[in-house]
Amino acid sequence: MQMTPKAARFYDRFPDNAVSCQLCPHTCFLRNGGVGTCGARKNRNGTLQALTYGEVTGAAVDPVEKKPLYHFHPGSRIYSVGAWGCNLKCIFCQNSAISQAESPTVPLSPAEVAKNGMADGSIGVAYTYNEPLIAMEYLIDCCKAVRKLGGKNVIVSNGYVNRAPLEELLPWADAFNIDVKAFNNDFYKRMCGAKLEPVLDTVAFLSGKVHMELTTLLIPEANDAIPELEDLADWISENCGRSVPCHLTAYHPELPLRRGGDDGRDFEECAVHFSEKVGVCVSRQRDHPRRLGHDLRQMRRDGGEARRLRRRRLGHAAGRKLRQMRREEQHCRLKSFDPGVIHICA
């Protein structure tokens, strides 16, 4: 049983029952009956409605590192929820079954979300799986309920949002992971149906105001060119400083984009170039995901095995970078190892 759609906010009214949604940079102009690019906001007789308010497609308790957040309460577990819909149309989406199509849901009120977020050893709630910002009204209400119970709110987002709604959400958020798809506006236009600049604006705005980590999915021959990664690294250093943790993730071909496959060597080489530009350390997580809480000795054993493999693959330049990583290893506190992820931190 679905909840009745709730009246949305963040929109302007126009004659003839038309509205213009002001939640994200698409600013969809919707005549009566029209649905926004995200699929989750609909004009009904001149009132914009939030179709997914109080609805979730899935929920689970995950390690916080799975978001990925490696420097926010490491070793903790967090209740994760998501609905359906997204304001980007990425042809390489790794979660398209719920992000780009309406999926079955179950009702879950903000109070229930908060209650679940404080059970089973969870530190709070992560809003993930699809794009959480397209359900901003529900997101804010959930965050307030979680905060009231003393929990933490984690937002995993593409960062494609207008400033006013983001400013309203910010006081209730404890951490963000922003997915920077590429450092190339043409990539965003062709492959995501969006623009790069609003995402960079979001990242720059959040920097220094809340804990933030960044993620980039490396797609062979699409956004993994070394000059582009170096430009992204320069931009992060200049606009966010060198303390923001970054995650480079490996691409697993998904429809409709079936380009390429995993090439561990190229993937790691990209990470080394990126880290050298940012001036930070690299850690290649190559083992299966582990429940966090392993002691430091186990972490070092696993990390040592990964470093030996990387030296053989990447040569002396990478070896120097990895020796730097060893010196900074205790600071990084990497206690879980996810396949296909390179974690970069100051």
- CATH number for the domain including 219? 3.20.20.70
Whether residue 27 sits in one domain with residue 68 = no
Q: Over range 92-119, report the average pLDDT.
A: 87
Whether residue 149 sits in one domain with residue 23 = no
Half-sphere exposure of 224 (CA within 13 A, CB side): 23
Q: Where are the beta strands (DSSP E) in 108-169?
A: 122-127, 152-157
Whether residue 153 sits in one domain with residue 28 = no
Whether residue 31 sits in one domain with residue 60 = no
At 197-237, the pLDDT tens digits run 999 999 999 999 999 999 998 888 888 888 888 899 889 98
| Assigned domain for 315 exists | yes
Domain region containing 20: 6-50
| Assigned domain for 198 exists | yes
- Altogether, the residues listed in the chain come to a count of 346
pTM across the whole model: 0.79
**C-alpha to C-alpha distance for 237 and 11, rounded to whole angstroms:** 35
| Assigned domain for 295 exists | yes
Predicted pLDDT at 254? 56
- Burial of 308 from C-beta contacts in 10 A (0-12 / 13-18 / 19+): exposed
Predicted pLDDT at 225? 87
Predicted pLDDT at 343? 58
Whether residue 137 sits in one domain with residue 33 = no
| Assigned domain for 1 exists | no
User: Is the separation of the CB atoms in 73 and 108 below 8 Å?
Assistant: no
Q: Over range 288-316, report the average pLDDT.
A: 38
Whether residue 121 sits in one domain with residue 46 = no
Q: Where are the beta strands (DSSP E) in 74-232?
A: 77-82, 106-107, 122-127, 152-157, 175-179, 211-218
At 152-167, the pLDDT tens digits run 999 999 999 999 999 9
Whether residue 302 is predicted with pLDDT greater than 60 in this model: the reply is no
Whether residue 236 sits in one domain with residue 143 = yes
Whether residue 68 sits in one domain with residue 11 = no
Our count of domains for the chain comes to: 2
Instruction: Quote the crossing angle between the two packed helices 296-332 and 264-278, to the nearest 10°.
Output: 40
Whether residue 287 is predicted with pLDDT greater than 50 in this model: the reply is no
| Assigned domain for 116 exists | yes
| Assigned domain for 128 exists | yes
Whether residue 219 sits in one domain with residue 191 = yes
Whether residue 113 sits in one domain with residue 31 = no
Predicted pLDDT at 226? 85
Q: Tell me, what DSSP letter sits at residue 23?
A: S
Whether residue 61 sits in one domain with residue 45 = no
Predicted pLDDT at 210? 97
Q: How many CB atoms lie within 10 A of CB 277?
A: 18
Which stretch of 61-75, 92-106, 111-125, 208-222 has the lowest confidence by average pLDDT? Answer: 92-106
Give me the phi and psi of 86, to 5 degrees please. Answer: -160, 145
Amino acid present at 300: R
Name the helix (H) or strand (E) containing 229. helix 226-240
Whether residue 147 sits in one domain with residue 38 = no
| Assigned domain for 108 exists | yes
